[in-house]
Amino acid sequence: MFIVTTVHSSPTMAPKDGCWCWAVVVATFFTQFIICGITYSLGVFHVIFKDMFNQSHFDTSWVGSILLYVTALSSIMLRFVTSRWGPRVSVMAGGILSATGLYLSRFAQDMFHLYLTFGLLTGLGFGLACSPSIVAVERYFIHGRFRALSAVLAGVGAGIITFPMLIRYLVDYFAWRGAMLILSGIALNLCVCGAIMKPTGHEREMKLMPMLSCVPLQHPLFIGMCFANMFWSFGSTIVYMYLPSYAMAEGTPFETSVFLMSCVGIASFASRIMFAVMGPSSTLDDVTSTVCSFGLGVVGYTILFGFYSGFWTTFLSQVSRELLGPEYIAVGNGYLSFMVAIGALTGGPLAGLLWQHENDFKYVFYLAGACLLWSSVVMILFKLKRCRARIEASGSSGDKEHLLNGSHSKEHKVPLMHEGSGKEDHTSATGNDTSVWVQHEGV
C-alpha cells in the first residue's frame, strides 16, 4: 500500500517541532549520503569483485544490478513498515539490515554469496531507509518543504563525491574484506539518523490507496514518463557501473578511474543545488525541465552527465504532481520507481553481454548514450502532443490568452488527471489549510 496522509492543521510547523526540524534535515542528509554514496559506487565495486573472483563482466554486473533493483523495489513494497511504525523504525531497521549485508559480504567466497549479501540484503536495508527518511522531512515541513528537501537531496551528490575515493583508500589499506567491515560500520550509522527522526506528534488521518491502481496508466504522457524513466535508469546504470572499467581499459590508472566517479558526484551536487534554486521560480514547467535534463545528460559521461542527471532525482515528485495531481503522487511514483528498478536490473548484465560479444567498451557506452537519448525523445514526443492538445482545447474555448498568461503560475495549473474534466488541483488552488503528505523516492 501507498500512504497518502491528509493533515488538517495550520500551514506552519508545530511549535514543539520547530527547533528539531533541522536536526531531522541533517539526519536525512546523511541517510541519503550513506545510501547513495555506497550504491552509486557500484563501478568501483565492479572492478574489485571482477578482479578478486576472476569473473566476467556479465557475472560481476549482477551484484550491483541486484543492489540497485532491490533498493528501488523494496522502497515501494516495504512502505507498509513506514505506514505502520513510522520513518524512525523503518530507517533504523534499514540500517541494521544494510550493515548486516555489508558485514556478511566480507566472508564471500563466490559471486552467488555476494548476490545474496551485498545485493539482496544490503538492498533491502537501503530500500527500507531511503524513502522513509524523505517522508520524515515532509512531515516536519509544510512551508519551506521544497528548500528542505533540496538540501537533503544534495546528500546524494555529496555521497557520490566522497565514497568512491573513500572505498579506494579503504581497499588500499585494509583490502576489500576490511573495507566491507568498515562500510558496515558506516551503514550502521543509519540507526543514529533514524533515531533522530522522532514522530512529530500531529494527529493524522490516513487514507490508503491501492499500490497497483491503474488510474495513472490511462494517460499517455504518464506512460511515456514511465518508459523514459526505464531508459534513463538503463543508460545511467551502465555509466555508473562501467565507467571505471572503461577508463582502465583505455590505460587509465585505477586511482584516476575512481576519481571519475567523484567527478560525476561533484557535478551532480552542483546540479542539485542550482536546480533547487531555480526550481520554484523557473519559467519552465517540471516536465519540460526534466526533458532538458534527460537530453543534456547525453552530452558527457562525467561532468555533464553528473550535472544534468542531478535534476532528475531531485524533482521527480514534482513531475508526478504536475502530471497526476497531488492525490496520485504516491501511486505515480510507485510506477516510476518500478520502471527505474527494471532499468537498473537489466542495464548492467546486458551491457556485460555486449562487451563479451564486441570486446570493446565503446559499444557499451554507445548503448548507454542511445538509451539516455531515447528517454529524451519519448518525453519530447509526448510533451509536444500534450502542448498541441492544450492549445487546441484553449482555442476552441476562447481561453487561449488566459492559458498563455497564466502558464507560469504553479497554483492554477491543471494536472493531467483533471484536464478532461476541468477540475482544478484543489489542494493548491483553494485557500484552506489542508496539506497532502505523500511518500516518494529520494534517490
- Highest mean pLDDT (candidates 148-162, 213-227, 353-367): 353-367
pTM: 0.76
Dmax (CA) of the chain: 71
- The Cβ of residue 420 has, within 10 Å, a number of other Cβ atoms equal to 11
The mean of the pLDDT values for the chain is 75
pLDDT > 80? residue 428: no
Mean pLDDT of 298-307: 50
Cell numbers 551484484 correspond to 63
| pLDDT > 90 fraction of the chain, expressed in percent and rounded | 29
Radius of gyration of the CA atoms of the chain, in A: 22
How many Cβ atoms sit within 10 Å of the Cβ of residue 289? 20
- At residue 201, the pLDDT reads 63
Q: What is the CATH number of domain 211-389?
A: 1.20.1250.20
Q: What is the pLDDT of residue 208?
A: 45
Q: Give the residue extent of every domain in the chain.
A: 19-208, 211-389
How far is residue 23's CA from residue 20's CA, in Å, rounded to a whole number? 5
Q: pLDDT tens digit string along 251-277?
A: 888 888 888 888 877 777 776 666 666
Which helix (H) or strand (E) element contains residue 205?
A: strand 205-209
What pLDDT sits at residue 309? 55
* Mean pLDDT in residue range 210-226: 71
Beta bridge partners of 434: 8
By the 10 Å C-beta count (0-12 exposed, 13-18 middle, 19+ buried), 195 is classed as middle
Cell of 225: 514518463
**CA–CA gap between residue 194 and residue 24 (Å, rounded):** 9
Q: Are 371 and 231 a contacting pair, CB within 8 Å?
A: yes
| Helix, strand, coil percentages for the chain (3-state, nearest 5) | 75, 5, 20
Instruction: Quickly list DSSP for 215-235.
Output: GGGGSHHHHHHHHHHHHHHHH
* 164-178, 232-246, 395-409: the lowest-pLDDT one: 395-409
CB < 8 Å & 24+ apart, contacts of 200-203: 200/14, 200/17, 200/139, 200/140, 201/14, 201/16, 201/17, 202/7, 202/9, 202/14, 202/139
CA 316 to chain centroid: 8
Q: What value does the mean pLDDT take over residues 298-313? A: 50
pLDDT of residue 12: 39
**pLDDT digits 0-9 by tens, 365-423:** 889 888 888 877 777 776 676 667 667 666 665 554 554 454 444 434 445 555 444 44
Lowest mean pLDDT among 242-256, 326-340, 426-440: 426-440
Closest CA to 186 of 25, 36, 24, 21: 36
Per-residue model confidence as pLDDT tens digits over 24-71: 989 999 999 999 999 989 999 999 999 999 999 999 999 999 999 999
How much is the pLDDT for 441? 40
Tell me: pLDDT of 16 over 90.
no
Q: Do the two domains 19-208 and 211-389 of this chain adopt the same fold? A: yes
Fold that domain 19-208 belongs to in CATH: Growth Hormone; Chain: A; (1.20.1250)
pLDDT tens-digit map of 76-120: 888 888 888 888 999 999 999 999 999 999 999 999 999 999 999
In the chain, % of residues over pLDDT 70: 65
* Torsion of Cα atoms, 432 then 433 then 434 then 439, to 10°: 130
Q: Categorize the per-residue pLDDT at 320 as very low, low, confident or very high, splitting at 50, 70 and 90.
A: low
